[in-house]
Amino acid sequence: MAARIKRPSVRRLLLVQLAAVCLMTLLAGGSGGGPSALSAWLGGMVAFLPNAFFAWRVFRHQGARHTRNIVNGFYRAEAGKFGLTAALFTLVFIAVPPSNPAFFFGAYVVTLFVHWLGPWLLRRPSHT
């Protein structure tokens, strides 16, 4: 019987991204009030939601027999992430224009930069 390949857990990375969104929202609210906090929250969610979608979609297949499905799934997940990002930017700027673009884009960038912590957050504990 073949050993099951354990999928990497991206839960910690997504939780840290969500924490970054909350932190940026609190900082924006403390320095600029409610409208700035809403701008930061929207910017963080525009970055977080497509990343969560990508993580959900990309790890559907595993194993050497599914190599083609893995590659196709990766490209579909990336295309979906890009489309969702574009749709969310459009939705935010049409429906709820940010009152403070600096906090909106600041929270967006900080949430995206959490990926730099990915290798540290996703590493598995050594059993040796």
Residue type, 77: A
pTM of the model: 0.79
The label of the residue with tokens 């490209």 reads: 75
Tens of pLDDT, residue by residue over 46-101, are 999 999 999 888 876 666 666 787 788 889 999 999 999 999 999 999 998 888 89
Contacts (Cβ under 8 Å, ≥6 apart) of 44: 20, 21, 22, 24, 25, 107, 108, 110, 111
Is 106 among the domain residues? yes
pLDDT for res 111: 93
pLDDT for res 24: 95
Provide the domain count of the chain. Answer: 1
Tell me which DSSP letter residue 100 carries: -
Is 16 among the domain residues? yes
Range of the domain at 51: 11-118
Is 5 among the domain residues? no
